[in-house]
């Protein structure tokens, strides 16, 4: 019997669409077609690729409301955030169209040779295994540099956003790219291993959970194929006693509730020095309680449903367990069973070591406040995490904040007096349990190229 993949509207539980899973023969045929296209694409010049990538940016902007509507249907993203996501996708397309040639320009090296240099050449078909929380952005931040570098792509997207995956494939075709330079594979997670092992797939990039990352890294390593992993995060935000608390609480609340609390780099743990903890708590309640939770299609909605009911239930279990272990719930902490996958904006304070809210990633609209006696202890708590994706420091002493951000915090990116977000101009990725490799900027486009030494005597 042929397997079916369903996309479910998390706001009401209705089926958005049903897709038939591709059989092994079909996926192999698609990958072969992509590889054949790549053999020609690799020889195109940057000007040609850039023209098409600028076209992609235009298509994205032209259809941004349609794409935002699709994301709201499939995973509950609030419409205004969906539009912003598409605009950011257009930005990354334009960015690499404008900069790829410079990033991959050959570098001359002075040796005894008549001519020696380092060249950056495409490697072939790259598999992207992507999550549902930013259905367009996570894909485009890989696809834009990969295609501009002369590679081809195949996408295995999260099953609940299959409609978004197919829309991205169609977007590239509308922009004028060859039909088979970027294709979607409608397969379950169980089929990823055979795709990675396919002889034409040369590398894999994954954004997702740590267990998924370990599995993909193991398979890719066994096949001697490179992988880049952007995994989970439990981002610490340190609030020092000299911080502008209004600014800090406003930005912390915004970060915690972005994408209905479902972002790897949203603020998760708020580590507050004891002198300002009570004041910070009051301000967090103020900013989080004013956010409107409701239908993602309504213009006044700030927080929509979580992407799936099972994810909401898992989050609630983490909240309840943390309360059992000594945390105090000062806002939210509840949901209505029969009204979609909604979870109320929640604040836990006095979170204790050993509890889920202290150590685990809470992938939903729940803030964990942890008290620290001073700066040193705050840094120690921040670094005690298994994760190391993003972090932030709030202090009015910018030199102090910069020192902590650069030298003290174990994370791939650390912001001072602002919330963490990805930017095409800056490398993005984590350390420790949050993965390895980098996306975006010049560093990202060089992840999937052959860094080749050429020596002419």
Enumerate the active-site residues: 230, 264
- Calpha distance 282→269 (Å, rounded): 16
Determine how β-strand 226-230 pairs with β-strand 201-207: parallel
Residue 425 in 3-state DSSP?
coil
**Comparing C-alpha atoms, which of 235, 248, 254, 260 is closest to residue 344?**
260
Report whether 391 contacts 409 (CB < 8 A): yes
Cα–Cα separations (whole angstroms), residue 162 to 6, 71, 361: 8, 10, 25
Contact assessment for residue 177 and residue 90, using Cβ atoms and an 8 Å cutoff: no
Burial 364-383 (b: 16+ CB within 10 A, else e): bbbbbbbbbeebeebbebbe
Distance CA 145, CA 439 (A): 9
What separation in angstroms does the CA of 200 have from each of 21, 120, 378?
21, 20, 48
């Amino acid at each position: 019997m042929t397997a079916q993949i369903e996309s479910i509207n998390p706001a009401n539980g209705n089926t958005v669409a049903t897709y038939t899973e591709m059989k092994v023969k079909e996926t192999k045929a698609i990958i072969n077609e992509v590889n054949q296209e790549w053999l020609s694409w690799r020889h195109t010049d940057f000007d040609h690729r850039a023209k098409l990538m600028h076209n992609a940016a235009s298509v994205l902007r032209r259809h941004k409301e349609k794409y935002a509507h699709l994301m709201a249907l499939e995973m509950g993203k609030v419409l205004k955030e969906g539009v912003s996501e598409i605009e950011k996708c257009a930005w990354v397309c334009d960015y690499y169209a404008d900069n790829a040639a410079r990033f991959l320009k050959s570098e001359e090296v002075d040796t005894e040779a008549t001519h020696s240099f380092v060249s950056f050449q495409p490697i072939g078909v790259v598999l992207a295994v992507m999550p549902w929380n930013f259905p367009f952005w996570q894909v485009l931040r890989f696809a834009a540099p990969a295609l501009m570098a002369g590679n081809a792509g195949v996408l295995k997207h999260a099953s609940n956003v299959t409609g978004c995956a197919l829309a991205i494939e169609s977007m590239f075709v509308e922009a004028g790219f060859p039909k088979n330079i970027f294709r979607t594979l409608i397969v379950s997670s169980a089929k990823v291993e055979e795709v990675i092992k396919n002889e034409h797939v040369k590398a894999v990039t994954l954004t997702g959970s740590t267990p998924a990352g370990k599995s993909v890294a193991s398979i890719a390593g066994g096949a001697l194929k490179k992988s880049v992993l952007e995994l989970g995060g439990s981002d610490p935000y340190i609030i020092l006693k000299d911080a502008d608390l209004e600014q800090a609480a406003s930005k912390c609340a915004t970060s915690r509730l972005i994408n209905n609390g479902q972002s790897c780099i949203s603020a998760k743990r708020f580590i507050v020095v004891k002198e300002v903890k009570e004041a910070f708590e009051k301000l967090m309640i103020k900013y989080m309680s004013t956010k409107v939770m409701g239908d993602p299609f309504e213009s006044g909605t700030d927080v929509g449903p979580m992407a799936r009911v099972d994810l909401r239930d898992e989050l609630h279990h983490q909240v309840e367990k943390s309360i059992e272990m000594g945390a105090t719930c000062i806002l939210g902490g509840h949901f209505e069973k029969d009204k979609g996958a909604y979870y109320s904006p929640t604040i836990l304070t006095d979170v204790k070591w050993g509890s889920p809210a202290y150590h685990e990633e809470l992938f939903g609209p729940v803030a964990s406040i942890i008290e620290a006696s001073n700066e040193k202890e705050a840094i120690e708590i921040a670094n005690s995490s298994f994760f190391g994706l993003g972090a932030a420091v709030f202090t009015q002493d910018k030199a102090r904040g910069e020192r902590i951000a650069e030298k003290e915090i174990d994370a791939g990116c650390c912001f001072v007096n602002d919330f963490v977000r990805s930017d095409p101009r800056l490398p993005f990725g984590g350390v420790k349990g949050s993965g390895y490799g980098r996306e975006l900027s010049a560093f990202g486009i060089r992840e999937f190229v052959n860094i080749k030494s050429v020596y002419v005597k």
